């Protein structure tokens, strides 16, 4: 697995490179945004760890540019500022996950494992998290083997959350999905659907990330 690390803090980058190499990742490191875009085009990394605060163009701008030609490349954002605005801006721009500095190496490795699993997961028609199984071919959802009765909107919302297990989906992203399914989105439409889903699935599956959005935790431990 080839990782491109975009980080201008040299001591931090050196530490990360060493730690990631130790667990078997191949890491290339660049310090600037423009260099990152060049490296992504030239090297086609499997995953990008991208610092937001860079000396030339910031990480969000890099992310927007790279998303213009690659919607799939997993990107983990590093932010020095633990602000909700940065997280939302990052996720809205297409980041898969974010980590606020300072962070523990074990936390970074856990996030990478989630992204890696998503990357390698074969496109099967079944998505299962715990005892919830969603079958995209049959458009059905079972909880501990029992088929659930979900509305079309609840099904699509759950599918979106499960397909993105391990990463936060912002309110804006989920509301856009509701719009694109032909729903007129009132201010609390999303909450209402989430509430109904929780009643059917239990309260533990869908986590509220305050001020940001919703998340289902990653698949197998």
Q: Interface residues with Ca ion (CB under 5 A)? A: 8, 51, 53
| Cβ at position 106, least distance to Ca ion in Å | 22
Indicate the helix (H) or strand (E) that contains 207.
Answer: strand 206-209
Backbone angles phi, psi at 119, to 5 degrees: -65, -40
**Pairing between β-strand 2-6 and β-strand 26-30 as defined by DSSP bridges:** parallel
| Cβ at position 52, least distance to Ca ion in Å | 7
| Cβ at position 32, least distance to Ca ion in Å | 10
Q: Show contacts of 136-140: CB within 8 Å, 24+ apart.
A: none
Q: What is the rounded CA–CA span in Å between residue 168 and residue 92?
A: 10
Q: Which residue has the tokens 């919302």?
A: 157
By beta-carbon proximity to Ca ion, the closer residue of 64 and 198 is: 64
Q: What is the rounded CA–CA span in Å between residue 40 and residue 36?
A: 6
- The packing angle between helices 152-163 and 189-201, to 10°, is 80
Q: What SS3 state is found at 153? A: helix
By beta-carbon proximity to Ca ion, the closer residue of 8 and 70 is: 8
| Cβ at position 102, least distance to Ca ion in Å | 12
By beta-carbon proximity to Ca ion, the closer residue of 56 and 107 is: 56
Q: Cα 123 vs. chain centroid, distance in angstroms?
A: 17
Q: What is the rounded CA–CA span in Å between residue 79 and residue 59?
A: 9
| Cβ at position 78, least distance to Ca ion in Å | 8
| Cβ at position 9, least distance to Ca ion in Å | 5
By beta-carbon proximity to Ca ion, the closer residue of 24 and 55 is: 55
Residue nearest to Ca ion (CB): 53
Closest by CA position to 48, among listed 111, 92, 106:
111
By beta-carbon proximity to Ca ion, the closer residue of 51 and 97 is: 51
By beta-carbon proximity to Ca ion, the closer residue of 81 and 195 is: 81
């Amino acid at each position: 697995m080839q990782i491109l690390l975009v980080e201008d803090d040299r001591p931090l980058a050196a530490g990360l490179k060493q730690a990631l190499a130790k667990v078997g990742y191949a890491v290339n490191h660049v310090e600037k945004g423009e260099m990152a875009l060049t490296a992504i085009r030239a090297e086609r990394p499997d995953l990008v760890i991208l610092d937001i605060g860079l000396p030339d163009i910031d990480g969000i701008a890099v992310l927007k540019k790279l998303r213009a030609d690659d919607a799939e490349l997993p990107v983990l954002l590093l932010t020095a500022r633990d602000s909700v605005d940065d997280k939302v801006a990052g996720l809205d721009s297409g980041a898969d996950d974010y980590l606020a500095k300072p962070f523990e190496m074990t936390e970074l490795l856990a996030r990478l494992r989630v992204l890696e699993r998503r990357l390698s997961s074969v496109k099967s028609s079944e998505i299962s998290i715990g005892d919830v199984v969603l079958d995209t071919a049959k458009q059905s959802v079972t909880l501990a083997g029992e088929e659930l009765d979900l509305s079309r909107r609840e099904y699509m919302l759950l599918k979106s959350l499960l397909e993105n297990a391990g990463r936060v989906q912002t309110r804006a992203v989920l509301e856009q999905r509701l719009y694109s399914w032909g729903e007129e989105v009132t201010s609390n439409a999303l909450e209402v659907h989430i509430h109904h889903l929780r009643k059917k699935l239990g309260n533990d599956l869908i986590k509220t990330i305050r001020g940001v959005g919703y998340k289902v935790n990653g698949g197998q431990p």
